[in-house]
Amino acid sequence: MLTSHLPGAGDCHGCPFRSFSTTQLTATLQQSFPRLTQVEQKEIIEQKEKMHFHVACTRLFEASHGLPKGRGINPNAASGISDSVTHPCAYVDMSRAWEKARADGDGMDVDSQA
């Protein structure tokens, strides 16, 4: 996805970290993720500007799920495995898994894994 053509007018796919301008991404983060701290937002934008799109996306995942920086999306990160987001579907799938696990109380929360 990161190496394919950028979305054109009327398209609704692609990586916003790659295709949005810094201004567009900042506005989207502020609107869609109002709980992000300024530090978290700055880290995400810096990674986008360095063209480290998967790192920016992973940092957004961590911040929006209350996970520590460097944790990644893998629930087994406490065992030293830390995956980054490589596709929007992975972000959505893991986000749903984290939220379900929190709701079910099965230990995929920050306190038991950090």
Kindly report, residue by residue over 102-112, the tens digit of the pLDDT.
888 765 544 44
**pLDDT averaged over the chain?**
80
Q: How would you classify residue 59: left for phi > 0, otherwise alpha for psi between -120 and 50, otherwise beta?
A: alpha
Sequence spans of domains, the chain: 16-113
CA separation for the pair 32, 18 (Å, rounded): 17
pLDDT of residue 107: 55
pLDDT reading at 56 higher than 90: yes
Please state which of the ranges 49-63, 65-79, 82-96 shows the lowest mean pLDDT. Answer: 65-79
Separation between Cα atoms, residue 61 and residue 56, nearest integer Å:
9
pLDDT per residue over 1-48, tens digit each? 444 555 455 555 578 888 889 999 999 999 999 999 999 999 999 999
- What pLDDT, on a 0 to 100 scale, did the predictor assign at position 11? 52
